């Protein structure tokens, strides 16, 4: 997505504060507004030269708000390997907040703490919830008390606004690809819940008799059932399955195809050849901010799912030559 020029950019270019840029943009004058004519002209020249156009969402933000958006995390993001997974979400959140000329305030939960254990979320105009496992009691209370918030990721709790990934459609598309390559005995390695993102992946096999392998089941379970392909809920499980197959002298995808329904996380090995889903993490973060600003302004809480991409890789092979 292209990045638009913001008031902060104009402020940096002209060496003035963002507040000064805002005053010039709104043509504020009077005894209480002291801006030197040459400063005002410098800002106007920068606006013209960059083609700056105020974002319509930002213009709708009610005056008098803090213009601070909170991000509440349910699991540690820094400096662990998990940051590799969450980094694109945070990039998208930051980019959109920058476009809207809003500041970000990161609330780091740590273990065992919930949103309402910290009244400081009130410092922000609204809050984005980020993490795989979001506390259900938090969600119910936020909805009941009409807080302005948006969850990154689909949630089952009624009334929760969210921006999530459309896992069922993406998994179904990958399944169709596998079927087109001749696979009929396919396994799903994962819990299938209770996290909504896991349940949604398993739902992608609706109408197909998939063999559900639950961790710590692995290669032996797949071979015993005569599976030709295994879709894994977690990226690391796909990597481990391939490593075990290779160590036993089996070919991937010749003897067994493997598909990961997740992105790399946790700092483990990354296989460039692995067939996998591409989760629109940056776009989800960006859209979450847009959605949150609408909620702050009184829009009805909504729910949106973004399409996932498909990385074909080389670990999903053709079995149509096999009798």
pLDDT at 174: 96
- For residue 165, pLDDT over 50 is answered with yes
Half-sphere exposure at residue 39, Cβ-oriented, CA atoms within 13 angstroms: 15
Closest CA to 176 of 213, 139, 199, 204: 204
Rounded Cα gap, residues 137 and 157, in angstroms: 10
- The class level of CATH for 68-165+280-307 reads alpha beta
* pTM for this model (two decimals): 0.78
32 vs 205 pLDDT, higher one: 205
Average pLDDT, the chain: 85
Least confident of 44-53, 143-152, 159-168, 209-218: 44-53
pLDDT at 62: 46
Identify the DSSP state of 79.
S
Q: What is the pLDDT of residues 120-158, one digit of tens each?
A: 677 788 999 988 778 888 888 888 888 899 999 999 999
CATH number assigned to the domain with residue range 7-54, chosen from the 4 options 3.50.50.60, 1.10.760.10, 1.10.20.10, 1.10.260.40:
1.10.260.40
pLDDT at 155: 94
Please give the share of the chain, as a percent, with pLDDT higher than 70.
84
- For residue 64, pLDDT over 60 is answered with no
Least confident of 185-189, 238-242, 264-268, 285-289: 264-268
CATH topology of domain 167-278: Rossmann fold (3.40.50)
List, in order, residues 6 or more apart from 152 with CB less than 8 Å away.
89, 128, 129, 130, 162, 163, 164, 284, 285, 288
Identify the DSSP state of 131.
S
Q: Is 225 helix (H, G, I), strand (E, B) or coil?
A: coil
Q: Is 152 helix (H, G, I), strand (E, B) or coil?
A: strand
Give the domain ranges of the chain.
7-54, 68-165+280-307, 167-278
CA distances from 135 to 143, 155, 174, 194, 263 (A): 13, 10, 31, 12, 23
pLDDT at 58: 56
pLDDT at 132: 79
Least confident of 2-6, 7-11, 104-108, 195-199: 2-6
Please give the share of the chain, as a percent, with pLDDT higher than 90.
50
Q: Which two tokens stand for residue 96?
A: 């959109």
Q: What is the pLDDT of residues 211-228, one digit of tens each?
A: 999 998 889 999 999 999
- For residue 171, pLDDT over 60 is answered with yes
pLDDT at 153: 95
- Residue 303 sits at φ, ψ, to 5 deg, of -140, 135
Give yes or no for a contact between 293 and 127, defined as CB atoms under 8 angstroms apart.
no
Rounded Cα gap, residues 270 and 263, in angstroms: 9
38 vs 232 pLDDT, higher one: 232
CA distances from 116 to 72, 130, 162, 277 (A): 11, 15, 19, 34
pLDDT at 55: 63
265 vs 209 pLDDT, higher one: 209
User: Average pLDDT, stretch 37-43?
Assistant: 87
Strands 126-130 and 68-73: parallel
Angle between helices 18-25 and 37-50 (to 10 degrees): 80
Per DSSP, the residues of 13-56 read HHTS-HHHHHHHHTT--STT----HHHHHHHHHHHHHHT----H
Identical topology for domains 7-54 and 167-278: no
């Amino acid at each position: 997505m292209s990045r638009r020029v913001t008031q902060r950019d104009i402020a940096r270019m002209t060496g003035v504060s963002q507040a000064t840029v805002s005053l010039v943009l709104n043509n504020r004058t009077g005894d209480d507004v002291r801006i030197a004519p040459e400063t005002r002209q410098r800002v106007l020249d920068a606006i013209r030269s960059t083609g700056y156009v105020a974002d319509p969402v930002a213009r709708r933000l009610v005056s008098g708000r803090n213009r601070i958006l909170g991000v509440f995390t349910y699991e540690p993001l820094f400096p662990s390997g998990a940051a590799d997974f969450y980094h694109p979400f945070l990039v998208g959140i930051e980019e959109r907040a920058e476009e809207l000329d809003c500041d970000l305030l990161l609330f780091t939960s740590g273990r065992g703490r919930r949103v309402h254990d910290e009244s400081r979320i009130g410092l922000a105009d609204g809050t984005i919830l980020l993490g795989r496992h979001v506390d259900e009691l938090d969600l119910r209370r936020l909805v009941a008390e009409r807080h302005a918030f948006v969850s990154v990721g689909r949630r089952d709790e009624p009334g929760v606004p969210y921006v999530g990934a459309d896992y069922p459609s993406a998994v179904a598309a990958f399944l169709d690809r596998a079927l087109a390559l001749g696979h009929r005995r396919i396994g799903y390695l994962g819990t299938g819940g209770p996290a909504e993102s896991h349940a949604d992946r398993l739902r992608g096999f609706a109408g197909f008799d998939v063999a559900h392998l639950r961790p710590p089941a692995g290669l032996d379970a797949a071979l015993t059932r005569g599976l030709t392909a295994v879709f894994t809920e977690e990226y690391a499980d796909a990597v481990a399955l391939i490593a075990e197959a290779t160590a036993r002298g089996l070919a991937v995808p010749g003897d067994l195809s493997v598909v990961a329904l997740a992105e790399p996380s946790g700092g483990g090995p990354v296989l460039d050849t692995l067939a996998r889903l591409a989760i629109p993490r940056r776009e989800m973060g960006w859209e979450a901010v847009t959605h949150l600003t609408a909620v702050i302004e009184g829009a009805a809480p909504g729910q949106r799912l973004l399409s996932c991409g498909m990385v074909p890789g080389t670990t999903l092979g053709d079995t149509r030559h096999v009798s």
